[in-house]
Amino acid sequence: MKAIHVLLVEDNPADADLTRETLEAGKLHIDLSVAIDGEQALQMLKASYAAGTKPDLILLDLNLPRKGGRQILAEIKADESLRHIPVVILTSSDAERDVAQSYTLGANCYITKPVDLRAFQSIVAAVEDFWFGVVKLPVAGEPARADP
């Protein structure tokens, strides 16, 4: 089975671990990369573009050191080689302004992180089920095949 490549941009190691564990417990083979801030995320995206291994989906926190999630979102959605990749905002912010601004900047959907552990896991599982089970993803986001 071909692996699905997800880039998680998250500075909180506990949230990153929880997301990884939930994705690993799912039915699908998911290859998760983690960037801990916006600068690193953009570097990884540019490197993956050059290598032909762009992620199929990006999970993006909003409050990040160095370069915030809003700025990364804006840069991804303004970049013709990246803008087709779905970006799911996964943040603790419940502020209406953050929600509206994220959609306006081109976020594909906005999800608030539940505080409760099990609710957090069920949210990550729901994202996985919907985006990899119901939705059709762009082929250009597929990881490059290992053999020609």
Interacting residues with other proteins (CB under 8 A): 80, 83-86, 94, 96, 99-100, 103-104, 106, 108-112, 114-116, 118-119, 122-123, 126-127, 129-131, 133-140
- Min dist CB 75 to other proteins, Å, is 15
CB atoms within 10 A of CB 38: 23
- Min dist CB 78 to other proteins, Å, is 12
Q: Which C-beta is closer to other proteins: that of 39 or that of 79? A: 79
Q: Which C-beta is closer to other proteins: that of 28 or that of 111? A: 111
Q: Rounded distance, CA 90 to CA 64, Å?
A: 12
DSSP 13-52: HHHHHHHHHHHHHSSS-EEEEEESSHHHHHHHHHHHHHHT
- Min dist CB 66 to other proteins, Å, is 25
Q: Rounded distance, CA 99 to CA 54, Å?
A: 26
Q: Which C-beta is closer to other proteins: that of 52 or that of 133? A: 133
Q: Which C-beta is closer to other proteins: that of 43 or that of 104? A: 104
Q: Rounded distance, CA 96 to CA 90, Å?
A: 14
3-state SS, 103-118, equals HHCCCCEEEECCCCHH
